[in-house]
Copies of this chain bind each other. A is one copy, B any other.
Amino acid sequence: MVQIAVLGHGTVGSGVVEVLRKNHGSITKKAHDEIHIKYILDLREFPDLPYADKFVKDFSAIENDPEVDIVVECMGGLHPAYDFVKACMLKGKHVVTSNKELVATKGAELLKIAREKNLSFLFEASVGGGIPIIRPLYQCLAANEVYEIAGILNGTTNFILTKMIREQMSFQDALDMAQKLGYAERDPSADVQGDDSCRKICILASLVFGKHVYPEQVHTEGITNITLEDVEYAESLDGVIKLLGRVKKLEDGHLSVMVCPAIVGRSGQLASVEDVFNGILVRGDAVGDVVFYGRGAGKLPTASAVVGDVIDCVKRLEYKKYLYWEDGEKGYVKDYRETSSRFYLRLKASDAQKVLDAAKVAFGEIQEAHRANAPSDEVAFATAEEIQESKLEQVLSQWEQDGTQVLGCIRLFDY
């Protein structure tokens, strides 16, 4: 029998307990051992639960109990999660976590401890909720040189964008609805400003390219400035707007990592990922494009991934997992201003034709975008060529000085 402790009895933690209890028989069969929850750490009381006796408020009870082999961290946030996880590993306990903030900021350090102590540190649930992505990336696709990953990594923002696209709902109305439905938190900033997607793309980039990418190294834009006008123009370009986390290996060995709203082709695999679902596209030299799709959040989907890791951990208690990446370093991630993309631009100008002519001079060939009842002083187009970000900034600031107002600016990605 393997004794485990669950840290945190919130949405994910309670889901983990539920799944372990509900599927106890088949899980025991698959793990080839019985998994017994010895402790659940939470400061709250749950007297009415059938497993109320397992709750403890004092972490040291878990830390100092040599019977506990595996600790499942579902508290979220950096502190005290980081301190607890580190303490447990230093005591020789395997750790499974769903905490993306923890892995995105402290992954390299914790993986190093795991390697030194021959422990498993698993975090399948930290990206894509229930979607298998971490294990497929480092195991199934291990034969590949993966050179690019692009993902719809946040269900809340994808729900909002889907409502804007499908039902012409405004951003604010869609956000209100997401909050009513419990998809968005009272303070939705981590979702709508892209921070959540940023942590997830950091984890994927670190795992695939072997060196830690820290959130502060990633240029991150949210969807708060996306308007229904942009949605309509994107449609005329045969695309839809999605919030993407994207990492790309550059020829000079550096990484381009970015989180931003992007226009993707309507017929592509990412365009069909709607509502709260996530979709992650991986490009490898041998396998080509593979896409993983499913529920990226929610109690049971996330618990499914956590418990999958626990089972894997139990099967290899005396056999550590070869998950690893090194510390990151300054300059490893390329300054986004030095990278290039195609751009969609929406502008307000007294003389529309003049702007279009100037655009052709500055960017080369462009494709005009259209929407119904656009005011005569509004123009929108997509560049045919990739433009370096720094150059775009120069051109746009020049135009703004000349009285042209930039209403919208969205990258076009080829997925």
Contact = CB atoms under 8 A, between A and B. Distances in A.
A30 interface: yes
B294 A130 contact: no
A194 interface: no
Interface string A256-298: 0000000000000100100000000000111111111111001
B287 A290 contact: no
Given A293-B291, A294-B290, A308 B23 contact: no
B269 A293 contact: yes
B142 A27 contact: yes
A308 B300 CA distance: 29
A107 interface: no
B286 A130 contact: yes
Contacts of A322: 30, 32, 315
Contact of A269 (B19, B136, B272, B307): B272
A8 interface: no
A178 interface: no
Interface string A289-329: 11111110010110111111011100110010010000000
Contact of A141 (B287, B300, B304): B304
Contacts of A19: 143, 286
B304 A287 contact: yes
A155 to B, nearest CB: 12
Contacts of A401: none
Contact of A144 (B138, B287, B292, B304): B304
B32 A305 contact: no
A143 B288 contact: no
Interface residues of A, number: 54
A140 interface: yes
Nearest to A32: B322
Interface string A127-140: 00011100110111
Contacts of A140: 124, 132, 135-136, 305, 308
A242 to B, nearest CB: 15
A182 to B, nearest CB: 16
Contacts of A130: 284, 286-288, 290
Contacts of A316: 319
Nearest to A307: B143
Interface in A171-201: none
Given A135-B139, A140-B308, A284-B304, 7 more contacts: A15-B286, A20-B143, A32-B322, A143-B303, A286-B304, A291-B294, A293-B293
Interface of A: 15, 19-20, 22-23, 26-27, 30-32, 124, 130-132, 135-136, 138-145, 269, 272, 284-295, 298, 300-301, 303-308, 310-312, 315-316, 319, 322
24 contacts: A23-B285, A27-B142, A30-B322, A124-B140, A130-B284, A130-B286, A130-B288, A131-B287, A132-B290, A139-B308, A141-B304, A142-B312, A143-B308, A272-B272, A286-B303, A287-B300, A288-B301, A289-B294, A289-B295, A290-B293, A291-B292, A293-B293, A315-B322, A319-B319
